[in-house]
Structure 1
Amino acid sequence: MQDLDLPLPLPYLRVDREGKITGSSALAQERFDLSKGHINSIIDEESIKKLSQFRWVSGLDSVKFELNMKTKDRALALFDVHLQWDLDDHANMILLPKDSANEKLTQKLMAIQHRLAETDFELLEKKEELEQVLRRLDELSGPFIPLSGELCMIPLFGDITADKINTISESCLQSVFKGNYEIILFDLTAVGEVRTDGVEKFIQLVKTLSFMTGNVIKLIGIKPDLAKVLNHYHLEQWVEFNHSLEQELRVYLNH
C-alpha cells in the first residue's frame, strides 16, 4: 500500500476492483486501521454489500453514498463516501465524517438564523420608525386651532381613515376638555377619499364633542359625495352643515 502525500482535508483511499487498498492519505491512516490492506476490514457487513454495488460500476462519474466504517476511535461511524473510478481502474474515495457534515450544516443554519434575526430586528426598527412617521402625519392632518376663547377649528387634510381619526381624537378631546369652547368647526374642504371605518370614527368624535360642549358641531366645506355619506347617519341632532369658513366666521364676528 502506497502512502499518498496529498494535501487533502479529509481521509482519502485508493482501492482496486478487488477491494485492495493501494494507497491512502495521512488522515486516512490516522483515522483507520489499514494494516489488513483491504477495504472490507474497515467497514461493517451491510456496508460491504452496499459497496459491492459500486465495485463494478464503469465510467468516470462520481457517486456518493453512506458507509458505516470502523475507525480507531469508534466501533462504527457513519461516513459520506465520494467515489470515482479513474482510468487505471482504481476507485478514489474521499471520506467525510457524517457528524462533521452535520456540525458544519448546523453551523451554517445557525449563521443563517443569526442573519435573519438581525434582519428581522432591522425591519422591526424600520417598521416602528414608519409607524411614528405615519402617526405624526395623521396628527398634522387634523390640527387643533383655537381661534378665540370660545371658538376653535379643526381642518382635516387627506383621506378620512380610522387610524387618522383615532390619532386626531386624542389631541382634539384633550384640547376641548382643557378649554371652554362653545363652537367647534370642522373644515372638510381638503378631505380626499372617505373610508367607511374612517367616517364611523369621525361620527363618534363629533357626537362626543357635541356632548362635551352641549352644542352642535359645525361642518364646513363638505363636498357633495361626503354630504351623501353623512346624510345616511341622520346627524341633525349633533351637527350643522355650513358652506364655507368665511361665512361661519362672519356670523360669529357679527354675533
Structure 2
Amino acid sequence: MQYFDQPLPLAFLKADRNGKLVSYSTLAWEHFDLSEEHLKGIIDEESIEKLIQYSWDPRLDPVKLELNMKTRETSLSLFEVHIQWDSEDFANMLFLPKDSSNEGLMDKLMQLQQRLSSTDFELLEKKEELEQVLIRLNQLSGPFIPLSETLCMIPLFGDITADKINVISESCLKAVFAGEFEEILFDLTAVGEIEGKGIEKFTQLIKTLNFMTGSIIKLIGIKPNLAKMLNNYKLDEWVQIDQSLKQVLNVYFNRNELGAS
C-alpha cells in the first residue's frame, strides 16, 4: 500500500476492483485503521454491499454514495463517498464526513420553526383578542342612550376615526330601526382628534339617520375645528347645531308638555 503524497482537503483512498487498498492520503490514515489494507476493514458490511451494487463497475460515471465507515474515533460514522474509476481499473475515492452537528443544527432549525409556528398562532389569538377589545372600546365611545320613547342621544368620546364610526353606526342604526325615535342628538363635547375618513363616515351616518327618522339631527358641543370640517360637507339640510344639551332638552320637554295639555 502506497502513501499518496499530495495535500488533499479530504481523505483519499485508492483500491483495485477486489477492494484491496493500493494508496492512501494523510487524512485517510488519520481517519481510518488501514492495517487490513482492504475496504472491508473500514466499511460497514451493509455499506460494502451497497458499494458493490452501485459503484463497483469501471464503466460507470463518477458515483456519490453515503456509506457507514469504521473510524479510529467511532465504531461507525456516516461519510459521503465520491468514487471515480481510472483507466487502470482503480477506484479513486474521496471521503467527506457527514457532520452530525449539521443534523443537530437541522433539528434545532425544525424545533425553532415549530416554536415560531406556535408563536404565530399565539400572536394571532392575541391579535383577535385585541381586535375584540378595540371593537368594544369603540362601542363604549359612542353609546346609544334613549332619553324617552322618541328622543335618543349618542355622546361621542375620543378621536373620530373611521373604525370607531363604523362600530357606532352599526349599533346606532339597529337601535333606531328597532325603536320609534323621532329626534336624535349627538353630543360632541368630548371629541378629540378628527380623521378625514372618520368625519366622512360620520356625515354618512347623519344622512342615514335623517332618512330613517325624517327629522333633523341635532349636534351639540361642537368645537371650532370640527365645525370647520363639517362646513365642507354642507349639512345644513340634515343637521341643527345647538348650544347645549340643556337647551335641547328644555325645548323638547316644553314642546311635549304643550302637546299633552
- Same structural fold, with TM-score higher than 0.5 when normalized by the shorter chain: yes
Quote the residue 2:183 is aligned against: 183
Q: Deviations over 1:131-177 (max 9, x none)?
A: 11111000000000000011000000000000000000011000000
Q: Which amino acid aligns with 1:19?
A: T
Aligned to 2:144: 144
C-alpha separation in 1, matches of 2:183 and 2:66: 93
Structure 1 contact 173–209 (Cα < 8 Å) conserved: yes
Q: Does residue 135 in structure 1 map to residue 135 in structure 2?
A: yes
Q: Secondary structure at the match of 1:254?
A: helix
Distance 1:231 1:198 in 2: 15
The structural deviation recorded for 1:36 is 2.2
1:108-127 equivalent positions in 2, closer than 5 A:
108-127=108-127
Do 2:158 and 2:193's aligned partners in 1 also have CA atoms closer than 8 Å? yes
Separation of aligned partners in 2, 1:189 and 1:241: 12
The alpha carbon displacement at 1:105 in A equals: 3.2
Query: Residue by residue, what CA displacement relative to the aligned partner does 1:191-245 show, whole Å, maximum 9, x if unpaired?
Result: 0001000000000000000000001100111011100010011001111111110
Aligned to 2:36: 35
Report the AA paired with residue 138 of structure 1.
N
1:19 has 2:26 as partner: yes
1:199 equivalent in structure 2:
199
Q: Distance in 2 between matches of 1:228 and 1:239?
A: 14
Distance, in Å, in 1 between the alignment partners of 2:67 and 2:147 is 91
AA partner of residue 36 (structure 1): E
Aligned to 1:78: 80
CA deviation vs aligned residue, 1:87-133 (integer Å, no higher than 9, x gap): xxxxxxxx7425x4553333222111101001111111111111111
Is 2:233 aligned against 1:233? yes
* Matching residue's letter, 2:145: I
Query: What letter is aligned with 2:108?
Result: K
Name the residue aligned to 1:159: 159
Equivalent residue number for residue 54 of structure 2: none
Separation of aligned partners in 2, 1:121 and 1:189: 41
Question: Residues 101 and 252 from structure 1, CA distance in 2 versus in 1: closer, same or farther, beyond 3 angstroms?
Answer: same
> What SS is found at the alignment partner of 2:37?
coil
Are positions 1:97 and 2:98 aligned together?
yes
Distance 1:252 1:23, change over 3 A: closer
How far 1:20 moved relative to its partner?
8.5
Distance 1:133 1:246 in 2: 33
Number of aligned positions between the proteins = 190
Q: CA deviation at 1:34?
A: 5.4
CA distance in 1, matches of 2:115, 2:155: 46
Q: Aligned ranges for residues 55-74 of structure 1 at < 5 Å?
A: 71=67
Contact 2:68 2:79 in 1 (8 A): no
In 1, the alpha carbon distance for the partners of 2:185 and 2:206 equals 10
Q: Report sequence identity in percent.
A: 60
The answer to whether the 8 A contact 2:151-2:184 is kept is yes
Q: Secondary structure at the match of 1:198?
A: helix
Paired residue secondary structure (1:192): strand
Instruction: Kindly provide the CA deviation profile for residues 173-197 of structure 1, in whole angstroms up to 9, marking residues without a partner as x.
Output: 0000000000000000000001000
- TM-score normalised by L of structure 2: 0.65
CA distance in 2, matches of 1:245, 1:20: 94
Q: C-alpha separation between the residues in 2 aligned to 1:180 and 1:72?
A: 86
- Provide TM-score, normalisation by structure 1: 0.66
* CA 188–34 in structure 1, closer or farther in 2 if over 3 Å, else same: farther
Q: Tell me the distance in 2 between the aligned counterparts of 1:252 and 1:216.
A: 13
Counterpart residue number, 2:56: none
2:162/2:198 contact within 8 Å kept: yes
